[in-house]
Amino acid sequence: MKIETAADLETAKNMGFALDQLSELEIGCEIWHSTKGYTLCRAPNDRGAFECGGDSYWGDWENDKFLKLDTYGENGTMVWVDCDGENWCEVVVDFEYSADEFWSALRDEYPDLAARFGEPLTTKSVRIRESEYQNVQNLTGWADGPEFARNPLYLI
């Protein structure tokens, strides 16, 4: 819902959104529920919020597609939320030192993820879904921590 009038603003305040989001609503804001039941908002200044139970996570919208959160993920990584409330993080791979086995396994086991790096593997970083994070950790040997990794992969 796009809030265009004072009446829209009053309607929005009765739609079951997080209290911290409701207190920031103004004319020009957009609010919606994701298909997963999360609440999201975008202000005219491109600030926004994502709520999945409790207080919201705040950040800045990038390209009208991703909300880059002000807070970091469990692993100290930057976290983005897409318009449907799915979490993403970003990985950076050092191509100079990365082992061929990593790329081969990535192509074989997770072709959709490998495709985001491009061919030949020239992209330095790629945004991945939070649900893909464990797959990348397993491939790189980071499941037990970066000090045990057999292939360098840097999380930012």
Say if residue 91's pLDDT is above 80. Answer: no
Query: What's residue 7's pLDDT?
Result: 92
Q: Is the separation of the CB atoms in 143 and 134 below 8 Å?
A: yes
Rounded to two decimals, what is the model's pTM?
Answer: 0.63
Instruction: Report CA-CA distances (Å) from 107 to 41, 64, 111, 114, 155.
Output: 36, 30, 5, 5, 20
What mean pLDDT comes out for the span 68-90? 79
Q: Is the separation of the CB atoms in 1 and 31 below 8 Å?
A: yes
- 148: three-class secondary structure by DSSP: helix
* Structural tokens at position 107: 């192509």
